Amino acid sequence: MKFFIDTANLAEIQEANDLGILDGVTTNPSLMAKEGITGHENVINHYKAICEIVDGPISAEVIATDYAGILAEGEALAALHPNIVVKVPMIRDGIKAIKYFTEQGIKTNCTLIFSAGQALLAAKAGATYVSPFVGRLDDISTDGVELISQIRLIFDNYGYETQILAASVRHPMHILKCAEIGSDVMTGPLSAITALLNHPLTDIGLAKFLADHQKAAKTA
């Protein structure tokens, strides 16, 4: 399973990249705003800075919600760097735009997916990725991970090449469940990724190894 980091924070992106296991980055307008990145030029420069850090797919989201606007914005974003993936919302004009981008060879990530039907439509339009929001479904007492299973089954039934990008991942159990199901990608915060490092028995075991090594060195 590919690991993407879901943030616009350059220090966190750098930290995840330095771990050596990062495959890509997803951003959204809320994440950009959280970092105080406002204004067209600053947003564009921020995408360029992310592309300098990570050599992998970088999702950059359009703001326009009409067909012509999505095409204009998406083409400009795609021209920034070969690794840019145009993130398009799951709306009627978004699906039409994904079909157009696919024909132009522009990679897309269909975002704000909350049902298998939406994922199926995006796959039929040729989306490179679909982003079902696992955590936000859990937030409203609906099983987000179950949606990943449903989409996996449907895509496998028909051999769709669209990759399932489990989004809105909040914690390590989301990551593990998505990996069990066979999600192609997961995107989550740095905290969820680094939480996979930890186990108390690892800490206890390492402390004992080091203590035994010290003891043996003293008696040698």
Q: Which is nearer to ligand E4P, 11 or 206 (CB)?
A: 11
For CA atoms 138, 54, 109, 48, give the dihedral sign: positive
Nearer Cβ to ligand E4P (121/192): 192
Q: Which is nearer to ligand E4P, 116 or 130 (CB)?
A: 130
**CA–CA distance, 19 with 25 (Å, rounded to integer):** 14
Does 62 help bind ligand E4P (rule: CB under 6 A)?
A: no
Helix (H) or strand (E) holding 210: helix 200-219
Q: At what angle do helices 67-78 and 92-103 cross, to 10 degrees?
A: 40
Give the residue, chosen from 51, 168, 177, 178, that forms a contact with ligand E4P under the rule CB under 6 A: 168
Contact 90, 117 (CB under 8 A): no
Nearer to ligand E4P, 135 or 172 (CB): 135
Binding mask 6-45 for ligand E4P (x = CB under 6 A): x-------------------x-x-----------------
Report the amino acid identity of residue 71: L
- Cα–Cα separations (whole angstroms), residue 67 to 42, 84, 98, 180, 219: 24, 19, 10, 37, 76
- Taking the complex as a whole, the smallest distance from the CB of residue 165 to ligand E4P amounts, in Å, to 7
Please select the residue that binds ligand E4P; options are 37, 86, 187, 190, rule is CB under 6 A.
187
Among residues 30 and 201, whose Cβ is nearest to ligand E4P?
30
Residue 79, helix vs strand vs coil: coil
Burial degree of 86 (CB within 10 A; 0-12, 13-18, 19+): buried
Angstrom distance (rounded) from CA 125 to CA 120 = 9
Q: Is 208 annotated in the active site?
A: no
Single residue of 108, 118, 131, 162 touching ligand E4P by CB under 6 A:
131
Set 87, 107, 177, 208: catalytic member: 87
Which of the stretches 12-20, 43-51, 72-80, 129-137 binds ligand E4P when contact is defined by CB under 6 A?
Answer: 129-137
Binding site for ligand E4P (CB under 6 A): 6, 26, 28, 111, 131, 133, 135-136, 167-168, 187
Q: Catalytic residue positions?
A: 87
